[in-house]
Amino acid sequence: MVAIIADGRWGKRVVHHVRNLLANEVITWGVRSTAFARELLMGENGTSVSSYTEAIEANQLVMVAMPYLDLLPWADVYAPVLNGKIVIDLSIPQTSEDRLLFGWQTSCSEQLQKKLPKSRIVGAKAARIHRLTGKEQGTPSMIYVTSDDEEAKRQVIELFQCAAYSIVDAGGLEENRAIDRMISMGST
């Protein structure tokens, strides 16, 4: 069971993509506006819609696909509900402001772990996930998986094994400093 936290039409694209990749998983889409999300999901099967809190409470794996500027304030609000959960950070810097937000000394995934010390943060970064394609020109995209919690990282790697991606165990969370920049520059 996996919760996906992402809003609006972007959230629908993420949910649809993950739904296709993880066909055997139960997916809960956690959103601000459940009515709007249900309207967007018309005709989609295998996904339920609920509030952020309900989605988090019902799942041990929580994928978060939010812009950098929204992610850390969101984590402040939902920290108590995220205790003990594996939180999969899908965020990548998309703008020049995003790339400057954390500098070279840290990454969003590291900052998320600081905000959520009782959660198990795993970075899962793919060069083309923001475009939501598994392949480009016949070559599988790479998912770089990082965490300071080896067991949580192993679970996420197993989750994505069935996907149309090449999975790379990229080490600890600090490796996101380079991965985020590399992905945001489009060099993979």
Amino acid in the structure at residue 13: R
Rounded to whole angstroms, the Cα distance separating 18 from 81 reads 23
Q: What does the pLDDT look like over 1-59, one tens digit per residue? A: 899 998 877 788 888 888 877 777 888 889 888 887 878 776 667 788 899 999 999 99
Q: What does the pLDDT look like over 55-104, one tens digit per residue? A: 999 999 999 988 878 899 999 999 999 999 999 998 876 666 655 666 66
Helix (H), strand (E), coil (C) string for 89-101:
ECCCCCCHHHHHH
Model confidence, pTM: 0.86
